[in-house]
Amino acid sequence: MMEERTGASPPPSSPPGGMKGLDLRTPTADDSVNGVMPQRVVWVRNAKEVVQVVCAAAAQREPLVVRGGGTLLSIGNAPRALTSILAMQNMNRILDYSPEDMVVTAQAGTSLAALDHELAQARQRVAIESSQPQTATIGGVAAANSNTGAAYAFGYPRDQILGMTVVDGNGRILEVGGRVVKNVAGYDMPRLFIGSFGTLAVITEVTVRTQPRPEARENISLEFIDQQSLKDAQQRLFRANLPLCNFDIDAEPDGHRLRWRLHLSTEGSVKDVEHARMSAAALSRGGSPAPASPGKPQRLDHSANFVARFSTRPGVAIEETSDLLTTAGAIVETPRAVIECGGALVRLYAECKSSAEASALTAACQEKCSALAGALLFERLPAEQRNHVDVWSGPIGGLVLMRRLKEKFDPCRVFAPGRFVGGI
Ligand SMILES: Cc1cc2nc3c(=O)[nH]c(=O)nc-3n(C[C@H](O)[C@H](O)[C@H](O)COP(=O)(O)OP(=O)(O)OC[C@H]3O[C@@H](n4cnc5c(N)ncnc54)[C@H](O)[C@@H]3O)c2cc1C
């Protein structure tokens, strides 16, 4: 259980003297983080300014939340306290790009669209995508370890990022990782900061590997009314080892049964894509072309006020999703689920019409998570529910070590206190 928060903003105070010369702005309602209003928004232009903000915040014990594009800022518990938003979008330069080495370094506030534009000229790209590429930043996707694109083939930012520069809570500029694909010595430090949701350090620069831009990409969507046919198709596709870059399944109730849609994407040369499309269609027998084939499930479901993300295993993902939807269907009207990345994770989407529905669905998800022995993250909850629930559920290994890392990198607890697992 979490302590209840009122969401009221603290009385405004003047910025600490250490923030002199910075671009400080008055917050608007859009700057609140899960209902908690900051007192100011600081727009930084370079790492030196980031150090200045962090040192001033640490000296005054004034917590801050780092913001990239702000598209995923709602994920996490509400901060215990919040004085400043550290806005990164003016740190948006590409610092070094060598197409022949297939590596690019950009400031953390660079949008994915700007990065893609630059790389397109050398017929390359980074294999990290966002549903909002104009807004999402390379620092933000790194901090959230999110990839809505070809994750089935390329994995998540953890697998694509080679190095980064960060400013920790002591105001130290730390360079971690490098600019080569095979870093042979030392701990893989960038991984520590990737997925840390801005609770350990401010990421100021990111070095990421680039990939050749595919000549062609095709999406295939097939509908299944029978769960076993879908499962058989999934297993045949796994064994065939086709060049698939996306492998997602979505499911929703249709009367008394579930309607399943399998969404595959393949990319490469025109010839390879055509071959993969034909093989995938043959292996997916039992399915019929889905009407209005969307290619990829619409993950960005704005109508849902409840989104829960489960870690699962490909071998059981279809059965578990079926079970989850049956349970959810008894609580809310139109739950929907998306199985991503071949079955690595499942997102449940629902529209809760009352707090009773939200509480019942939250409890059902927690129960399901215990049965799966995997992690559960409530990515979105109705406001009244959010204040009573720890959004990070399930077994969390290494919490003691994580707390020690937090202590070392952020001793004054300036970075988003209370937002992360275990109240970190
Ligand atoms: C409705 C919705 C659905 C989405 N669905 C998916 C999905 O299904 N799968 C998926 O993989 N992704 C998904 N995304 C994520 C999407 O790709 C995000 O746009 C992206 O990950 C976040 O980038 P951002 O710059 O907007 O980060 P922000 O939203 O600004 O920040 C995200 C987190 O990173 C921290 N942060 C940001 N920048 C830095 C920095 N420089 N240093 C340290 N910490 C920082 C923030 O404090 C915050 O905790 C979804 C986004 C939305 C809005």
Phi-psi map region of 341: left, alpha, beta (phi>0 left; psi -120 to 50 alpha):
left
Name the residue at shortest CA distance from atom 44 of ligand 1: 198
Ligand 1 cavity residues, CB under 6 Å? 65-73, 76, 88, 108, 130-132, 135-137, 139-141, 143-144, 146-148, 197-198, 202-203, 299-300, 416
CA of residue 119 to ligand 1 center, whole Å:
21
Residue for token pair 């259980």: 1
Contacts of 238 (CB under 8 A, 6+ apart): 314, 342
Q: Which backbone phi and psi does 175 adopt, to 5 degrees?
A: -105, 125
Which regions of 108-230 does DSSP assign to beta strands (E)?
Answer: 124-125, 161-168, 173-177, 201-209, 211-212, 216-224
DSSP state of 18: G
Tokens of residue 208, six digits: 């990421």
Ligand 1 pocket test: pick from 71, 132, 346, 421 the residue with the most ligand atoms within 8 Å of its Cβ. Answer: 71
pLDDT of 7: 42
User: What rounded mean pLDDT belongs to the chain?
Assistant: 90
pLDDT of 362: 96
pLDDT in tens, 120-175: 999 999 999 898 999 999 999 999 998 887 888 898 999 999 999 999 999 999 99
Q: d(Cα 313, Cα 375) in Å, to the nearest integer?
A: 11
pLDDT in tens, 187-200: 889 999 999 999 99
Q: What is the pTM of this model?
A: 0.91
Spans in the chain with pLDDT lower than 70: 1-13, 183-184, 291-302
CA of residue 130 to ligand 1 center, whole Å:
8
Q: d(Cα 417, Cα 424) in Å, to the nearest integer?
A: 6
Q: Which amino acid is at 277?
A: R
Tokens of residue 346, six digits: 């499942």
CA of residue 241 to ligand 1 center, whole Å:
31
Name the residue at shortest CA distance from atom 12 of ligand 1: 146
Residue 4 CB coordination number (10 Å): 8
Element (H, E) at 42: strand 40-43
Tokens of residue 67, six digits: 């913001």
CA of residue 236 to ligand 1 center, whole Å:
34
Q: d(Cα 85, Cα 148) in Å, to the nearest integer?
A: 25
Q: Which residues pair with 250 in a beta bridge?
A: 261, 338
pLDDT of 283: 87
Ligand 1 pocket test: pick from 41, 66, 72, 86 the residue with the most ligand atoms within 8 Å of its Cβ. Answer: 72
CA of residue 67 to ligand 1 center, whole Å:
9
Cβ contact 301:349 at 8 Å: yes
